[in-house]
Each structure stands twice: as structure tokens, then as C-alpha cells.
Structure 1
Amino acid sequence: MWSFFSRDPSKDFAFDISDQVKGLEYRSFWRVHAGRKKGTSQNVSVFVFDVKDGSEAQLELAKAAVKRLKTLRHPGVVTYIDSTETDKLVYLATEPVTPLEEWLEKSSISEKQRDLAISWGLLQITKALSFLVNDGKLQHNNICMSSVFVDAAGEWKLAGLEYVTSGSSGPPPHKAFPQLQVYDPPERSDPSKQRLTSSWSTDTWGLGCLIWEVFNGPLMKMASLKSTSKLPKSLTPLYCDLVGGNPAGRPNPAQVVERGRQPGGFFNNNLIQSLLFVEEIQIKDTVEKNRFFGQLPPMLDQFPPDLAKNKILPQLITAFEFGGSGSTILAPMFKLGGLLSEEEYQLRMVPCLVKLFSSPDRATRVKLLQQLESFVDHLQPNTVNEQIFSHVVTGFLDTSPTLREHTVRASLLLAPKLNYNNLNVELLKYFARLQAKDDQGGIRTNTTVCMGKIAQYLHPSVRQKVLISAFLRATKDPFPAARIAGVLGLAATQQYYSLADVSARVLPALCHLTLDPDKEVRQHCFKTIRGFLGKLEKVSDDPSLKETMEADINSHTPTAGTAGSGWASWATAALSTVSTVYRSTQRAKSRPDSGGSSEAPASAAAAAAAEPSRGQILPSRPPPAESGGGGGGGGGGGEDTSPMADASDGWDDEDWGSLEEPAPATEPSAVPSNPSDGWDSWQEDEFSPVTAEPDTRPLSEIRWADAGAVEDPFASVPTKQTSQRKAMPTADVTASSAGAAADFGGGWDNSDWGDMGGVGTGTGGEQDKKSAMQERRQQRQKELEAKRAARKGPMKLGARKL
């Protein structure tokens, strides 16, 4: 009597039902709708049966199908989530799926990817059928396209369990739709063949019908099964056995899997092998894993995107986090990460990346830094500053040159995301240390290059203190490529310098470099000088231009007017010579006969560009074309008006040095003997020009140890370490003194300019000139020692202690 007041159970269904999905018309009494769990973002598929659209008999079949699905758990069967049943309807919630017919019509993947997806899908259905027949002792009795669904990962799932029977339950139920009778095997209408049937003969016949429909469309009549023109040749023999007239000759589903996995079989391809491997990756040994991960990246482009990102990627992430896989897993993992949406990337990849950056394994860290460009855009600034930066900077102090080099390169990509302290304090501290103390010329060069590239991100107050000091220090480096990087860095960041700094600090230092022993350094130095002089001359002629010239000094982003100044347009094309000089030097060292070569440096650079060496790092984009006007402006009279707007910093990927070929032991050490944090090294007034006699040999004949004419530029600095060294010959002491004066001198005074003029003037005898130079050096060394003794504690950035 209380049934009138009972609540409708369908109203308590925990899922919202939305639009109906097409693909099951006239072959199933189920209607499939997209759905979502109430109060969450969990997507589901809702199978709905309403007795108004069917009959009482179909209602009983629908309830039987729900009961079967509850008890079946297999990767190849649609996953049951929830259900609600009443006297008039049935609601069944499953994982989100799409009918196979609808998926085949709307799939936008390439033909090759489609074939691979079909092969994997048919293998999954065959395995699910084998599970039912051999393990569950059940007969599906309804294998066709309307019983197969595709999930979000692109995997095929078996459903349509309303006609399932056990081996002892007698004949299958009568099918509700006449269109389904076309899938009945011929023995259903021939009693003489029924004694030849097996527990799987009906389902393997249905499997053959499914294969035909996948390649030809819905089956309308049984006679169409004889047409095999659209079937793959590797699948045709197996298909013919499945739809054979003799029930006893049809193979068991397990035999279908075995035959298809044989060499040349339809189930034997790269996609299936890869997917089966990742399913069993936890039991594979290290050698097998490394071989697989090394072969996987080239194949990923051929795989269907849904399967790759939803099936392979999760297994790779799990294998790395818990399986102890090495760094070889990173390349395919990052490549697959590019297929994810931004929301998916933040959820699935970023936690793994944070863990990777904290890895102590050097190989993993190097590969991670090499791949940084592929995922840096997905890293949020908070994540970079709070969880990643502290681990990255440890690479600056690592003993491995390769790790230090890639850390320098990585800082360029991370710089736009760093906060004030990490960028303007912490990062610059490590840059100062590398530029002053690193023993690898390529790393010192790359540090200078990176300094020019991140200049636009630095705070204006820090930028004014650091840039000129950093680049002027690089111009005194014993490595030619580092000196070129310093000169070009000044040119590329010219918009950040006041005219007073240009005239008082930049030009005097560049004028000294016009006597550099390296021809390439001198060439770029003269171009830069002409550019700065042209800028000063314009302001001299029209003082109103001063405000425009200095507009970017206190701004974070250069204005169009100064960024595109014509006088500096040559810098964009000229920057590529940094790597050219470096590679030609590397090549000269690696050739035994290079010592006797009379080839000019320009020829060596041309050869380096024509034939890349083994250690060359190729550019990611072609170098910009040189403008035809040269560096015009001041004394030259000819002004270059080519635009600079497209190269605000003027640096190309070619500018990086290379550490792929290890530096020889004869390279001059850049590590000072005095232990300091390197901050005082940014003050360029601490350094005076090198007064050693210039080396006029071609670049191809100059060894790294000869580049600076000193073996240890800091050998004469009085410290506890140097006091224990053995006495050096007179020539060595002289060279060391010159190097010390160059690195720890008292600034631009008259004695420095006298030294510059005393080299090669030809005003007296050669012996007299050498004696005078020796006396000046000794006097200079005494002054240096007195200053060093008066120092108390490390100097700060921008400070000068007298």
C-alpha cells in the first residue's frame, strides 16, 4: 500500500546523462549516452534501456548483461562502474567509450596509424574472447561491430553481453533484432553440422565477421564474407579459417593470437611489440629496457597518438619512478609528453620532472638539461623557483665539464621564469664564478654568451653594474673565442649602456684589444669601436638624440628605435664567428700537421664552416645573413642602415662553444689560486690590459696554452698555495707577472697606456725594449702585491677598494 510513496531509484542515479552517442542503431536495444559523475569531472558512458523502447524480454536480457559485466574483469572487456535497475528501465555506467563504428568513421589519424590501431584492437578483442571461452567457459554469441567499443586511450573493449551463455546452459537466447541474424554461423541452419561444433566455433565465426566489417563496413548479407580484396594479405589466411564452413576447422581464439604473433603475422608489428613490452616492463632486465628505450623514439611518430600518450607514457613514467630505469627512458618520455594538453601535462608530467631534477645521476641530469627546451614552456614560474632552480644550480659546481656546460645553456631557458633573487643574485653569482675560475675555455665562452642573452631579463640596476664588467673581463680571457664573445656581447647589448660608460669604460678597453694577437678578435673589435664611435658622433652632432639612445637603460624591454639601430646591425651576422673560431681552434689542435700550416685564420674559419668537426654543435636555425654595409657610423663615414629589430640580443645558437671534444691539458687554467666567491671579479677596474708581446702566428698554429702567452695567469698572486710552489724560470715568472697584472691590476692609468704603446713601437733596440718592459712588469708586480696585502675580506659587486 506504500508503493505510491516510494522513491524512483533512477533519480538517485549518481551520474548525469547528456547527449546520445550514435553507432548502435538497429543492432542493439541499448542507447549509449555521454555522462558525468555528479559533483565531479569524471566522465563516463551510460547505457540506457527503457522498456518503452523495447519489450519485457529485452529488459530481462539487459539485466542479465549487467549481471555478467559486474562479474567480468579483463583489460579487453568494458569496465563496469555502477548501475540502477527498475521495473521499467536499466542504467549502466561504464568507463567512457565510443561505439567502434562511430570511431572508425570519425578517426582522423593517418592510414598507417589506423592500420596499427586496428591490429592492436583486434588483438585485444581476440584476447578477451579467449578469456571468455577458455578461462570463463562462456560463449559470447554476439561478436560483431556493435559489440565492440573504443575507450579514450584508443583500446578496443568487448561488450554486448546480453546473449552470453555458459557451456551447459543450452542454445543462446533469441536475438532481438533481425539484423543480428546475419552473424549466425551456417551450422545454425544445418543440423547435420551441429555435432561438429565446439565451444568456440560460434564466437570465432563472429570474430571473422568483425574482421570483415572493420575493413569493409557493416555486414548486410553472409555472402559478402567471400570478398577479401580489402583485407590485409597477412590477415587473409587466418580470416579464411575463421569463416570456414566446417565448424571443427575454426581455430581457438588462443590459436588465433599465437598464429598472428608469428613473424610476418598481422599481430606482429612495432606497435604491438612496444605495447606488450611496456605491459611487462617491470619484469624486464636492464639490458632489455635500455635496448627498448633506445629504439622507441623513432617509432613514436608512427603510433596512434591516443595509444601512445595514454598507454605507453603512463607505463614509462611508472617504470622511471619505481623501476629504476636509467636515463635512456627520458627521450621517449619527453617526446610523448608533447602529445598531452596543458592540463594533462601539469597533472602527469610536471611531478615527474621535479623528481628528475633532484636526481643525483649525472647522465640523467645531462639528458634532462638537453631536453629542457621541449618542456620548459610547461613549467610554471613558481615550480621553477621553488622546486627546480635549487637543483639546477648544483650543476655549476659539478666536476663534470659536460654538466657545467649544459647547466649554463639551461639557465638561458629558465631565466624568463626566475624571480628577482634567483636571477639577479644567485644566477649571476654562479656566472661570475664560471667566467673567472672555470678551466674550460668553452664554458667561459658560453657563460659570456649566455650573459648577453639574458641581459634583457636582468633588473636595470643590476644590469648597469654587471654587463660591462662581465664583457670586459671576457675580453681579457686567454681563450680567443671568449674574447670574441666579450666584444660581441658589448655590441649586442649596446642599448643598455649610457654614453658616459661607453666613452669612459667601453672604448678604452676595446682600443687595447686592437693589438690582440688573434686576427678575428681584432676584426670584431674594430667593428665594435666604429659602431660605438658612430653612436657618440651622432649624439655630438645632435644632443637631443641622447635621450633616445639611452631609453633602454632603465627598461626591461628594448624599444624599437634603439633595438633596431643600424650601427649595430652587423653584430647579428658576426656573432656566428664565435663558434667558428672555437671549432677551428679545436680542429687545429686535433691535426698533427697543423703546426706547420701557413693557412690564414680566415681560411681556417672557412674550413670550419664547410666541414663541421666531430665536436661541433650544429645550429638549430640557419645563421642570419650579413648586412652589406659593415659597421658604419663614426670615423668610417659609411653608415649601415640595415634593421636590427629582429635581433634584440643579437645572439644565435651557433655562438655556443663545444665541450664534445675534451680540452687538452695544455689549456691555460682560468682558476685563480685565491679562494673567493668570484663576486669581486665583476668589477672591471680590477683588471689591467695584458702587456705581453702579441703572437702573430695564424690561428691554426696557436695552441690553447699559447693563446694567452701564460700557463698560469694567477701564478704570481701571493697566497698560501702559491707560496709552496717551486721557483720558476725567469721567463715563466715574467709571463706570470704579466698575467697577474692583467687580472688584478689597478685600472686604466698612465702606466697601462704606456705598456700598450711600448709593444712593437720600433723606437729603440730590441734588447732595450725588452729590458724596459721587464722593469715595468716587476714594478707593476710589486704594486700589485702591496694592494693585495692591504685588502681585507672579499669585495662586493660594484665596489672598489683602494
Structure 2
Amino acid sequence: MLAVASSLFGRTNIAQSYVIGASAATTPSSSSSTLPQASFTPTFHVGPWKVQCASHKTTGKRVSVWSFDKRSQELERVGPTARERVLEVLKAEAGALRRLRHPSILEMVEPLEETRSELIFATEPLLSSLTQSIPGASRSPLVDLDEVEIQKGILQICKGLSFLHTSARLIHSNISSNNVMINASGDWKISGLGLTISLTQPDGSKTRWEFPTYDSRLTSHVQRSFDYMAPEYALDEQLVTASDMYSLGCLIFAVHNKGRPPFQNHGSLGGLRENAGKPLTGMENMDHDLKVLLGALITRHPNSRPDPTSLPSYAFFSSLPISTLNFLDRSTFASKSREEKVAFMKGLVAVLPTFSDGLRTRKILPSLVEEMKDTHLLPYILPNIFFISKTLPSSQFASVVLPSLKPLFAIKEPPQNMLTLLDNLNLLQEKTDKQTFKEHVLPLVYNALESEHALVQERALKTVPDLCESIDYAEVQSVLFPRVALVFTKTRILTVKVSTLECFLAMVKTLDQTSLTQKLVPLLSKIRTREPAVMIGTLAVQEAMGMKVDREAVATLVLPQLWAMSMGPLINIDQFQRFMNVIRKLGDRVEKEHTQFLKDSQRIEDRSGINGSSSVPTSTQTGADFESLVGGASATATGSRIGTVPSGTGGSSFEDDIWGSILASTPVQSPSPAPSHVVQRSMSAMTPPPTQLYSSPSTPVPSTAAKSPTPLRNQLPTMTSTSFNAHPPFQRNNNPQPPSISQPNYNFNLGGSPLQPMQPTPPTIPQQSQIPNYNIQLPPANFINQPLNPASLNSVLSPNVVHRPSPGNLTTQKPGKDAWGDFDPLS
């Protein structure tokens, strides 16, 4: 309990309010923050301080928490006096940060808190110290610095020193790479203010000089480094602000020399005295302007050194990138006129490639995003923002840039904004997730399509083909296509009309056949202009549709439109030939596919005719006698008579009789007698004697016809009232050997000249209502010797529905046995 209570009382306000350490990286930041999560680095050390990234539990604000453990080994190695001195310097540093406020001095966010075990305070978010980011150092740099960023950072240190010297009346006295911090925006900030020396005392008297000492057991952070110490302070006992400029010169040398200062004094006053006034070495590979600057700063006497305000005038800082960064500085850019800002933004695009990615992201981008509040500057700011955004990770783009762009997607004026946004639509799609792009970025395209400016409409239409490949089908079908179609119907500008046709061409791949035939085809049919560009664009769309929709739509919808357009008065011969090529191409497709369709239909109907031609399947159709199958041996003898003529009659086998369904059906009542003139006409047509109904020159009429219990009229197939010729005649076969033609063949001729053999039309399985009602009334077999009854002749073979066979299906070839297997008498 005591341990828990001690822990609770030992917790600071910072520890309770902030999430500290690695877990802070996953905490969502506030919407107003422009700092990407990628800016926060792992824990690093600045002297005895441990610096960790942290985020506020409520607001999500990002900070860096500085903590010092009082139980560290560094304090255990020294005595009580040294321990008190360390704590005094660290507390003085935190106190100075709280008092001193300047853009170039590290900003404190949470004041110092002290517990039994630690000191802790919070500052603005940091990336690293300068020591940990010097180019070419042995360790891997936490921040990649280029020359421009170094020059900019040095100028920022000069501004901080100028504030300390003139406003605060302080000498830093410990400027080194370990006491310069790099924040999340890439700015260099002065820290390590625990050893500052006031130029005057509270009573107005001058501060007395103190002899410098160095304890190798302690870090240089809590004592002045002899490697950066000015000679006049150690040797001449002078307290002047120029000593900080000497230290700044040593820092510039170290940054350009892989972290090594110009002299290694090793904490010895004698070494400092020996090196004072020596010429600088190791500058062979340095730029000439840099050598001049270092020669002016690292001197034996302070009077020849430049002060912080005059240092920027050296040629080393006169490059165009440095001038650009100076002009963009937040402290001065707001006071510039709008004309100056416009001119600056126009020229910035050409200078941006000279900056490193880190400098553009950390230093330039935040300033540009802040200036987006001025809508008149947007057409000139946006190109620079998109240039920088190309190298940004998607997460950083979503947190830094996208929140400022979202309000612009719904603004139609000035049109230059929409043009710039549309030109970078691919970048927006690449840097945003699918749902964000649909909800926030796509409305930009829809608003542009509704714009009154033709240039904006045309630019928006040019983005549609790529969108069709990347967005959902439902979005194209229900939202994008109707909006493009509306532009197509309303515009009177030729270039816009052609652009809409290009969009339709891209949409053909996405839209379904129903939308193409019911929406797009009618839309294209309403074109009134006959400009060749529109005609050719329409031709391309029709060609693409013609290869996707079904053949019927091509034949009835697409091809007629193409023929009509090909007759346009402004079409030249090359364009006309192009129309003809497409028409032939689509026509060939229709012919090929429809021919194949008819063949497939014929094959299916033929199979259906085989399976349904007889109401009682025979042994040849089913492969076994039904009665034999279900009745066993007793049914074998009787089952053979199904569908056949009794063997005792001597007639031919009806095994393949195709009229089984008619022979087994109930006779239909004969209609009322026809008028007498119809009977006379029917009889005059029957010139052959009646005996030829069932005979041929070589085959007599079977004698069993009159003995058949079934009326003869029920054994005849349906036919027209004129004649019916169904291949070779029915013959009696007394020979036990099977005849050469086992299939029954009927030859009926009621007219003067025999007809050609009739082939069955492609059979279909008719509905009950579609079966023609044949009323067949035939006289008995011996009607030759009986008086002629006109009423009975009138009713012979007179169908209610006359079926005319297709001429293409007639043939004079004598059919084989299998030819009648596919014939359906009801088709």
C-alpha cells in the first residue's frame, strides 16, 4: 500500500495528462495540428535529459517530454556538491525556457515539475538535436540535412542570439551542436540555457567573471565545453557577446566536418591557450564563401567578429534558396502585399526542386498551407502544394494537406482553382483511400461538369476515362454516366461534345448491356450535328457497343444509326470507308452469331422431335418394349403388337410409325358439310381413281385395311386438302427378311400431279392451344363400289390450320430410315 501511495503521489501532472513514449505515436492528433505522425522519432538524449514524444490524452496535442532521473549513475559517481550543481543547472535551463519566448528559442509547453525521483517538463515537438543529425557523422542521422537547411538553421540561431544579446542581455556561453534542437517543422532552436551569463546584475552592476572548470565525470551539457569556448573568456577574463559568435563559428565548422570542432582542447585550459590564434585546418573541401565566413568568426580577438545582425549579409547566405526561405518566413510573410505574394508563388515552383524533400515538407509546406486561407492566392499556391505532395506519404498528405483542400472541392470560382485540382486528380486519388476519394474528391468532378466554363467542363471530362477504370461500377452507372449524358445533351460546344463521346467510349467497358441499349443508344440517336469530329466519335462508341451488346441490338439499333450517319454531307471518303468497315464488321458478327443461333435451335428442336414424336415409345426409341420391361415374359408376346400391324394380317411393321399419336387419339368430329360447289371442286381435283390412295404401280392395296377395327381415317396423317406425298409407297412385305426400307412410307396424291416429297419443318413442341385441329373424315376402304357422298368427300383431310412447309426444307432425295425419326407431325 505504501508503494502504491508513493507511486500515486509521485505522478506528475504531465504524466497524468499525456501519453508518453511509443504509444503516443498511435494516438490520433487534433484536427488543427499540421504535424504528421511520421515527424515523431523514438526517444533520444540531450545530455542527461531523456526526450520522448508524447500526446495529450484529451486534445491530442503533440509535445516532447524532457525527463531527468535523479537516481542516474551520473549523479551517483559524484559527490553531493557536484550533484547539487547538476540539479541547479538543469533547473535553471527549464526556468530560462519558461521566461524566454522567441521563435528561435526552444518553446516550453508544460513547466518544470519535480518529484523525489525526477525532473520533468514538456516542450514543442522535436525531431532530434543537431549533434544527432550532422551529415557524415558516424551515427545514422535522425534528420537528413542538406546545405540549404544548414544555412537556414544558422540564420535562425543568429536571430536567437540577437534576441539574447540585445533584448535579454544574456550571453549563452555554451553554444554547441548538443544545445541546438531541430523541431518537427525543421527549425533550429537554441536550448541549453542553464549556463547563461547575464551582462548586468539586478542592481545594475556588471557581472563578475568566473574561472571555467571542467569535470570529466559530468556531461558537457551542464558545464561549458572547452572545444567551443572563446579564447577571450578563458584567457582574457572578458564577458562579451562576441564569445557566442566564436562558439557559433565552431558549430558551423563541426556541421561541415562530420561533427568535429576546429580544435580538440579535451577540457584543458592549456590546450585552449595553445590553439588560440592558430590558423584553421581541414577546410580544403569547403566552399570558398564558407571559408570566408569561418575565418571571420573563429578569430583570437572578439572585435573583428561579425555580430548576429550582420552575419546574414555574408555571401555564404546569398543563394536563391536561402533568399526564398527568408522571404517565406512566417514572421515577415504575412506583412507582404498581395501582389508580392502572387509574384513569389509564381516563381516558387521553379525553385522547389533545389530543396530537399525534408526541407520542402518541414519548412515550406506548412507555410503554404497556412496561406491557403486567402482564396485569391489559391491558384498560385496550389501548384506548389501539389509539387511537394508528390513525395509525401499518404498518411502525411491526409493529415497535413487534405483538410485544407476539402473546402475547395465545392468552390466553383475562380475557375483556375478547379482546373488546378482537376489536373492533379490522379495525385489526389493516389494519396487518399477509396472511401475518402469517393466522399470528398469525386464531388469536385461533378461540380466541374456543372460549371459554366467550357474549359472546366472539358478538363473534367478528360478525367472521366481514368475514373471509369478505378471507381466502383455502381458509381459509374448511377452517378457519373447521367452527369456526362446531361453535359452531352446540353452543350453546344464542339470540343465538349467530342469529349463526352470519349467518355462514353470509356464507359462502354463498364456499363451493362441494358444501359447501353436503353440509355446510350437512344442518346446517340438524338445527335443533330453532322460535324465529322462528332460523327467519328460516335462511330467509335457505336463500334465498341456493337461488340458488346447482343446481335439483335446490333441489327436493329446500332447498324441503322451507322448507315444514317454514314450519309452525312460533311463526311469525306476516308471517313466514309471507316463507316463501311465498321458496318461490315458488325454485320459479319450478326450474320455469324445468328446463323450459329439458328443451327443450335434446329439441333435442339430436332432432338425434341425425336423424343416426343410418338405417344407410345417403341422398342427402337427406348431400346426395350415397355410391356416386356414391366410385365416380364407374359408381356413379351402381347407387347410386340403395340404400335404395329398384327402379324396375321400380313401387313408391314408399324414399328417406326410416326403417326402413332394420331392413330391412338380419339377421332375428332367432322365439321358440318361444305357447300356443293366446294364438293365439286374437291372431286374434280381427284382425277386419279380412289384405289391409288393406298397403292403404287407395284403394290396392291392391303386387304386387311377393311378388316381393321380402327377406322382408316384415324390411321392417316394430317395433310392439306390438295395432296400429300410422303416418300415411297406403303408396301406389304410377306418376306420374313427385313425389307430394304423398313420405315413406313406413304404416297398420297389427291391432285393431278404428285408433289415433291415434303420435309418436316424444324419441329417445336407446341402448346395445347397451338396444335392445329384436323377434322379427318375418310370413306371406308371399299368406298369405290359405293355411291359417292359429296358431304363425306368434303370433309376429307381438311385441316382448320393449314401448315405450309418451308421451301428451303423440300428435297427430292429419298430418305433413309432415320430421316423420319426427327419428324414431328404437329409442328
Describe the superposition over 1:542-565 as per-residue Cα deviations: whole angstroms up to 9, x where unpaired.
Answer: 549999xxxxxxxxxxxxxxxxxx
Distance in 2 between the 1:103 and 1:382 partners? 39
Quote the sequence identity (%). 23
Alignment of 1:716-755 (within 5 A): none
Aligned to 2:158: 126
Q: Please state if 1:234 is matched with 2:289.
A: yes
Contact residue 182 and residue 221 of structure 1 kept, 8 A: yes
What amino acid maps onto 2:235 in structure 1?
D
Aligned to 1:100: 130
Distance in 2 between the 1:369 and 1:162 partners? 54
How many angstroms does 1:352 deviate by?
Answer: 2.8
What amino acid maps onto 2:64 in structure 1?
S
Q: Please state if 1:499 is matched with 2:544.
A: no
Distance in 1 between the 2:4 and 2:428 partners? 61
| Gap change, CA 1:394 and 1:69, over 3 Å in 2 | closer
User: TM-score, normalized by length of structure 2?
Assistant: 0.58
Distance in 1 between the 2:599 and 2:509 partners? 22
How many angstroms does 1:231 deviate by?
Answer: 3.1
Distance in 2 between the 1:458 and 1:541 partners? 27
| Gap change, CA 1:40 and 1:400, over 3 Å in 2 | closer
How many angstroms does 1:392 deviate by?
Answer: 4.8
| Gap change, CA 1:266 and 1:37, over 3 Å in 2 | same
| Gap change, CA 1:115 and 1:389, over 3 Å in 2 | closer
What amino acid maps onto 1:182 in structure 2?
D
Contact residue 140 and residue 163 of structure 1 kept, 8 A: yes
| Gap change, CA 1:326 and 1:183, over 3 Å in 2 | closer
2:521 corresponds, among 468, 473, 478, to 468
Question: RMSD value over aligned CA atoms?
Answer: 3.6
| Gap change, CA 1:124 and 1:389, over 3 Å in 2 | same
Distance in 2 between the 1:17 and 1:200 partners? 38
How many angstroms does 1:161 deviate by?
Answer: 1.4
Describe the superposition over 1:597-655 as per-residue Cα deviations: whole angstroms up to 9, x where unpaired.
Answer: xxxxxxxxxxxxxxxxxxxxxxxxxxxxxxxxxxxxxxxxxxxxxxxxxxxxxxxxxxx
How many angstroms does 1:133 deviate by?
Answer: 1.3
Aligned to 1:536: 590
What amino acid maps onto 2:423 in structure 1?
Q
Aligned to 1:455: 508
2:232 corresponds, among 178, 187, 207, to 187
Distance in 2 between the 1:275 and 1:521 partners? 61
How many angstroms does 1:277 deviate by?
Answer: 2.5
| Gap change, CA 1:495 and 1:218, over 3 Å in 2 | farther
What amino acid maps onto 1:30 in structure 2?
W
Which structure's CA Rg is the greater one? 2
Describe the superposition over 1:156-203 as per-residue Cα deviations: whole angstroms up to 9, x where unpaired.
Answer: 222111211211243367555586222212223423xx4xx5631211
Aligned to 1:144: 176
Contact residue 61 and residue 162 of structure 1 kept, 8 A: yes
How many angstroms does 1:465 deviate by?
Answer: 1.7
Q: Please state if 1:266 is matched with 2:266.
A: no
Distance in 2 between the 1:546 and 1:46 partners? 81
Distance in 2 between the 1:158 and 1:281 partners? 23
| Gap change, CA 1:265 and 1:4, over 3 Å in 2 | closer
Q: Please state if 1:367 is matched with 2:423.
A: no
Distance in 1 between the 2:4 and 2:512 partners? 76
How many angstroms does 1:283 deviate by?
Answer: 2.2
User: TM-score, normalized by length of structure 1?
Assistant: 0.60
Contact residue 148 and residue 355 of structure 2 kept, 8 A: yes
Unaligned runs of 5+ in 1: 548-802
| Gap change, CA 1:272 and 1:22, over 3 Å in 2 | farther
Q: Which of the pair has the greater relative contact order for Cα pairs under 8 Å at 6+ separation?
A: 1
Contact residue 22 and residue 102 of structure 1 kept, 8 A: no
Aligned to 1:49: 68
Secondary structure at 2:286's aligned position in 1? Answer: coil
Aligned to 2:699: none
Aligned to 1:155: 187
How many angstroms does 1:150 deviate by?
Answer: 1.5
| Gap change, CA 1:433 and 1:32, over 3 Å in 2 | closer
Describe the superposition over 1:251-310 as per-residue Cα deviations: whole angstroms up to 9, x where unpaired.
Answer: 2111213x23xxx43254324424532523332223222211111122222222233233
Q: Which has the higher helix share?
A: 1
What amino acid maps onto 1:483 in structure 2?
M
What amino acid maps onto 1:103 in structure 2?
S
1:440 corresponds, among 484, 488, 493, to 493
Describe the superposition over 1:428-486 as per-residue Cα deviations: whole angstroms up to 9, x where unpaired.
Answer: 44433433442221111111001121334446543432233344556x64221221111
| Gap change, CA 1:43 and 1:386, over 3 Å in 2 | closer
Contact residue 65 and residue 120 of structure 2 kept, 8 A: yes
Contact residue 428 and residue 437 of structure 2 kept, 8 A: no
Describe the superposition over 1:233-261 as per-residue Cα deviations: whole angstroms up to 9, x where unpaired.
Answer: 2222121111111122222111213x23x
How many angstroms does 1:64 deviate by?
Answer: 0.7
Aligned to 1:356: 408
Contact residue 376 and residue 414 of structure 1 kept, 8 A: no
Contact residue 10 and residue 116 of structure 2 kept, 8 A: no
Distance in 2 between the 1:209 and 1:198 partners? 18
Distance in 2 between the 1:271 and 1:543 partners? 76
Contact residue 18 and residue 35 of structure 1 kept, 8 A: yes
Secondary structure at 2:372's aligned position in 1? Answer: helix
Distance in 2 between the 1:335 and 1:463 partners? 40
What is the number of equivalent residue pairs in this alignment?
533
Distance in 2 between the 1:218 and 1:40 partners? 42
Aligned to 1:65: 93
Contact residue 46 and residue 93 of structure 1 kept, 8 A: yes
Alignment of 1:376-775 (within 5 A): 376-378=429-431, 392-396=445-449, 398-412=451-465, 423-424=476-477, 427-458=480-511, 461-473=514-526, 477-516=529-568, 517-540=571-594, 542-543=596-597
| Gap change, CA 1:8 and 1:460, over 3 Å in 2 | farther
How many angstroms does 1:397 deviate by?
Answer: 5.0
1:277 corresponds, among 308, 328, 331, to 328
Q: Please state if 1:221 is matched with 2:264.
A: yes
| Gap change, CA 1:235 and 1:523, over 3 Å in 2 | farther
Secondary structure at 2:284's aligned position in 1? Answer: coil
Distance in 2 between the 1:151 and 1:545 partners? 79
Aligned to 2:788: none
| Gap change, CA 1:350 and 1:21, over 3 Å in 2 | closer
| Gap change, CA 1:395 and 1:184, over 3 Å in 2 | closer
